[in-house]
Amino acid sequence: MAAAAKKLRESTDYAIVAFPGYFALIFHTYAFLRGFDTWLMDIKRNPQLYRHLADKLLAINLKCTKRYLDEVSPYIDGVLYGDDMGHQGGPFMSVDAFRVWVKP
């Protein structure tokens, strides 16, 4: 990825934005592991498991993202990082639930 980012930096005047892939999708990774419906149900029915797994995924995510950014950061202008927390009809959860379960 560093070589590709360097090549872009040397061949374009456009801003270069890196995307760390699944490392940038903590909650999607949770849903991939447990199932999308189970991810949302864990928040209500098994909050201790949810917190433990979400914290573990965050720790792995940060470690992998750091390694990635250590390689590409000399050649990029920004990083795309985040999860999609809604659907066409609105958010997956209330603002209050988001503040408790996702924002921290």
pTM of the entire structure?
0.79
CA 96 vs. chain centroid, Å, equals 20
| 96, pLDDT greater than 90 | yes
Q: Are 72 and 1 in contact (CB under 8 A)?
A: yes
- In this structure, of 21-25, 44-48, 58-62, the range with the lowest mean pLDDT score is 21-25
Strand partners, 90: 87
CA 63 vs. chain centroid, Å, equals 12
pLDDT at position 22: 79
Query: Beta-carbon neighbour count of residue 98 at 10 Å?
Result: 13
Query: Rounded mean pLDDT of the chain?
Result: 91
